[in-house]
Structure 1
Amino acid sequence: MKKILFASTALVATAGVAAADVSFGGYGRFGLGYEENRGDTPGQEDTVIVSRFRMNIDASAETDAGVKFSARVRMQADEQAKNNVPAAVGDTVTGGEAGAAGLNGARFSVEYGGLRVDVGNVAGAIDNLPNYYGNEPGLENFIGQYAGANYGFLAYSSGGAGSNGVYARYAVGDFAIAASYDTADVVTAVVVPAGATDAVATAATSGDRWDIHAAYTFGNITAALAYGETDVAGAGADLDMTVLTLGGTWGAFNGTLIVGDESTGTANTSDTFYGISAAYDVSSATTLTFAYGDGSGDGDTRHVGLGVIHDLGGGVSLRGGIGEEKVGNADGTMKADFGAQFSF
């Protein structure tokens, strides 16, 4: 009886493996990153080793009726230079130390025809908006046309559990619509404890958050419009964002444009934001990139920078960039990086 049970169990397990499809893919990158005046912080250096390892683990199965079910988890490890700031006197830190890899929250998907629904750790309708991110110069993509945007929309988390939301998209021909929903924790107050110099406490409230977008492609140009809103119950006005993007390709050149308006709950960032990006293939192997982003608020961040990508073949490329980050009227900070990236 036991032999029959074991044989049956093995047969069921084997059938399950045969019916499903599991794949692995991602990329690795490593190089040097420079940030002006970072070395002024104890334990930090202006120039550090930067790195990322990202592996996506995807599993899928399809019913006899053609409905596809799938799931993804991501394993990612980044260097810790950006987060390595001492919290108090006596803390020990080192600049540019390696980070350990860990799995993020799972995303589950169901697809049929032109309809797709994601649940769990999902990217929302604005995070999925065509041409929102545009061309991002640098090995670490540290310059973006979206720099002046501050609204906290539903986004995919590579290193955390995510927001446990839902995202749906329906596409027919050149037209697509999408919507997403989750419950967001919104910071409604920042309190500096008496006598403290670098510690703050925040108060947050949960609110319903939803985003929608529509996109249409005509010829070589895609136009997209999105709106997002977070309902902050009992904490003043709701937060929202409206954003328009355009993107197109003309031979060796492609460009994107972003413009929008937002209410963030903070006077110096509730305003208009805008940006552009471009990429130009100077040869079959080399591409130049550019991005600029800013906003009209005194607390908005401005990015401007150039980058280069040189394809070595086999999924391997050399990448680098140089640019400036500037917040409001403060002095700008120069940044640069260079290194290699390979896909697998």
Structure 2
Amino acid sequence: MKKILFASTALVATAGVAAADVSFGGYGRFGVGYMEDRELNSSTDPADLVAGSPDTIIVSRFRLNIDASAETDAGVKFSARVRLQADEDSNNGEANAAGLNGARFSVEYGGLRVDVGNVAGAIDNLPNYYGNEPGLENFTGQYSGNDYSFVGYSSGGAGVNGVYARYAVGDFAVAASYDQSAPGTDADRWDIHAAYTFGNITAALAYGETDAGAGSDLDMTVLTLGGTWGAFSGTLIVGDESTGTVATSDTFYGVSAAYDVSSATTLTFAYGDGSGDGDTRNVGIGAIHDLGGGVSLRGGIGEIKRGNADGFMRADFGAQFSF
């Protein structure tokens, strides 16, 4: 990550601010991706499906994080981030134009951090929620059986205009987030979590709830575990949710793992499902080979099954580099 330091007379003159810093960093990836019957399976929304879409397409992503920060004489750090990102359209393989997302602002002091704007919520930040995601595109994960919509960071859109706060002391941390999921209504949404690390294992518990206005409230409770034992690491997720739909209001669960075959090569695995008829089952394996200098070769293969529909295969392979 390259940093550009701006220390002008105007900044020095600003009361209580010692210096300002702007940094750039991110990653790029490109390769090929395969989805069986892409024109039928690339989206759950029929309006997004494109007839005649090829099963094999060129996949890519360019992500640039732009971070700006300043620190007061008292040691309070203020920062902000916007993200520039360009991907392919997974429905038809065509390239999408790059765009900026909504801004996130942060204040940090000691063990306390508060984010405002396009925030990642307490469940989105839950340790080991995402686990190990095989593939260049991370197309499969242990969380696939979860259908509850929690506060999440948006890479390509405005995101929520919410607030997230986290306080950590030693091996213990608590967090909470809030946003008005439907502006102009009383459909407020909030998440909380607590996490504790003991030795090489981290356990975390989270709860989220959405006030659905005149309808029934929606909620989710989820527990995660994750640990590392030498060359092996693994995660576990289990939860219960009420989504307002009978087919997806149920228990969900999953596991993931990673194993370092050598200092340069890692194998990954993920499985996720739920007990509801409308849940999505994911299972996949992948590999990462480090070429040094922040460059790696990545790929994966797996199956996705949505509800009672037939499963379909996905696979990808390509290169990723960090900067």
Are 2:273 and 1:294 equivalent residues in the alignment?
Answer: yes
User: What secondary structure does 1:12 align onto?
Assistant: helix
2:283 counterpart letter in structure 1: V
CA offset at residue 15 of structure 1? 6.4
Q: 1:35 & 1:141 partners in 2: Cα distance? A: 13
1:165 counterpart letter in structure 2: G
1:57 counterpart letter in structure 2: I
Aligned counterpart, 1:158: 155
Q: 1:289 & 1:34 partners in 2: Cα distance? A: 19
Q: 2:321 & 2:167 partners in 1: Cα distance? A: 33
Q: 1:15 & 1:123 partners in 2: Cα distance? A: 34
Q: Share of identical aligned residues, percent?
A: 82
- Unmatched 5+ stretches in structure 1: 1-9, 83-94, 187-203
CA offset at residue 97 of structure 1? 1.1
Are 2:101 and 1:104 equivalent residues in the alignment?
Answer: yes
2:311 counterpart letter in structure 1: G
Aligned counterpart, 1:80: 89
Q: 1:205 & 1:150 partners in 2: Cα distance? A: 22
Are 2:275 and 1:277 equivalent residues in the alignment?
Answer: no
CA offset at residue 13 of structure 1? 6.2
Indicate conservation of the 8 Å contact 2:132/2:269, yes or no. yes
User: What secondary structure does 1:75 align onto?
Assistant: strand
Aligned counterpart, 2:45: none
CA offset at residue 240 of structure 1? 0.1
Q: 1:146 & 1:81 partners in 2: Cα distance? A: 20
Aligned counterpart, 1:45: 54
For residues 322-333 of structure 1, the aligned pairs below 5 Å read 322-333=301-312
| Aligned residues: CA RMSD | 1.7
The correspondence for 2:239, drawn from 251, 254, 260, is 260
The correspondence for 1:318, drawn from 271, 291, 297, is 297
Aligned counterpart, 2:44: none
User: What secondary structure does 1:185 align onto?
Assistant: coil
Q: 1:259 & 1:11 partners in 2: Cα distance? A: 54
Indicate conservation of the 8 Å contact 1:31/1:338, yes or no. yes
Aligned counterpart, 1:28: 28
User: What secondary structure does 2:207 align onto?
Assistant: strand
- 1:220-250 C-alpha deviation (Å, 9 max, x unpaired): 0000000000011112x10000000000000
1:259 counterpart letter in structure 2: V
Q: 1:323 & 1:161 partners in 2: Cα distance? A: 31
Indicate conservation of the 8 Å contact 1:221/1:249, yes or no. yes
Q: 1:265 & 1:340 partners in 2: Cα distance? A: 41
Aligned counterpart, 1:225: 205
Indicate conservation of the 8 Å contact 1:119/1:166, yes or no. yes
Aligned counterpart, 1:334: 313
User: What secondary structure does 2:247 align onto?
Assistant: coil
Q: Which has the larger radius of gyration?
A: 1
CA offset at residue 38 of structure 1? 1.5
Q: 1:134 & 1:61 partners in 2: Cα distance? A: 33
Matched positions, count: 305
1:148 counterpart letter in structure 2: G
Indicate conservation of the 8 Å contact 2:18/2:71, yes or no. no
Indicate conservation of the 8 Å contact 2:289/2:296, yes or no. yes
Indicate conservation of the 8 Å contact 1:30/1:51, yes or no. yes
Q: 1:142 & 1:81 partners in 2: Cα distance? A: 11
2:10 counterpart letter in structure 1: V
Q: 1:220 & 1:230 partners in 2: Cα distance? A: 34
Indicate conservation of the 8 Å contact 2:115/2:165, yes or no. yes
Aligned counterpart, 2:47: none
For residues 189-268 of structure 1, the aligned pairs below 5 Å read 207-235=187-215, 237-268=216-247
Indicate conservation of the 8 Å contact 1:78/1:98, yes or no. yes
Going from structure 1 to structure 2, the CA distance change for 1:123 and 1:72 (only over 3 Å counts) comes to: same
For residues 52-131 of structure 1, the aligned pairs below 5 Å read 52-82=61-91, 95-131=92-128
Worse-matched range after superposition: 151-160 or 31-40: 31-40
Q: 1:162 & 1:328 partners in 2: Cα distance? A: 28
For residues 117-196 of structure 1, the aligned pairs below 5 Å read 117-185=114-182
Following superposition, which runs of at least 4 residues in structure 1 exceed 4 angstroms of deviation?
13-18
Indicate conservation of the 8 Å contact 1:205/1:232, yes or no. no
User: What secondary structure does 1:155 align onto?
Assistant: coil
Q: 1:263 & 1:269 partners in 2: Cα distance? A: 8
Q: 1:15 & 1:138 partners in 2: Cα distance? A: 49
Indicate conservation of the 8 Å contact 2:18/2:70, yes or no. no
Q: 1:167 & 1:150 partners in 2: Cα distance? A: 21
